[in-house]
Homo-oligomer: A and B are copies of this chain.
Amino acid sequence: MADRTEMIMRTALDLALEVGYSKLTIEGVASRAGVGKHTVYRRWSSKGLLFLDSLLSFNAPALDIPDTGDFAADLRTQVHAAVDLLGVPPWNRLYQALVAEAQHDPAVAAGLNERFIRPQAEKVVARMLIAREHGQVAADFDLDLAMTVLSGPLYFAFLITGEPLTHEYVDRILHVLFEGVRPR
């Protein structure tokens, strides 16, 4: 049974890679997997949840943050890894589709947050906390906010403007985050 579940998820992911999420179909998945439609519906109540499960199960590594003592460098490493996960074909299109699906399916939105967004955010915040204890960050600073200011521009480029996500772009964002825009 775990066998079948995993096989269906792999099939869904393969199909999504081949034809794109919008043309992904539960009938198609069931047929390709040699499985009845009931067998799919019994496990996932919608195409969105199946896809969420498939993508996050097979393509979302832990993305743990190193702690070398150099906060800025560690943060940079982490965000570069995130960019390499989200911004590179063919996976970028699938993550785009997942976020899109989350816009009209609250269950997908919840799953995306709990399984992908929040765990990453918590790791970043935890690392920031250490940095703050070392005086590398203002003592009264809101770490959740810093996390948002860091992630936001990434997703903005990813979802809205469609600019490519590059390491260089990330570096420039980090610079603003640390220095602000005031004249020095």
Contact = CB atoms under 8 A, between A and B. Distances in A.
Oligomeric state, in copies = 2
A38 interface: no
Given A155-B159, A156-B156, A176-B180, A104 B113 contact: no
A162 B22 contact: no
A173 interface: yes
A103 interface: yes
Interface residues of A, number: 48
A100 B100 CA distance: 4
B139 A183 contact: yes
Nearest to A142: B172
Interface stretch (A53-61, A76-84, A146-154): A146-154
Given A142-B172, A152-B156, A155-B159, 8 more contacts: A100-B101, A100-B104, A138-B181, A145-B176, A148-B156, A151-B153, A151-B156, A177-B180
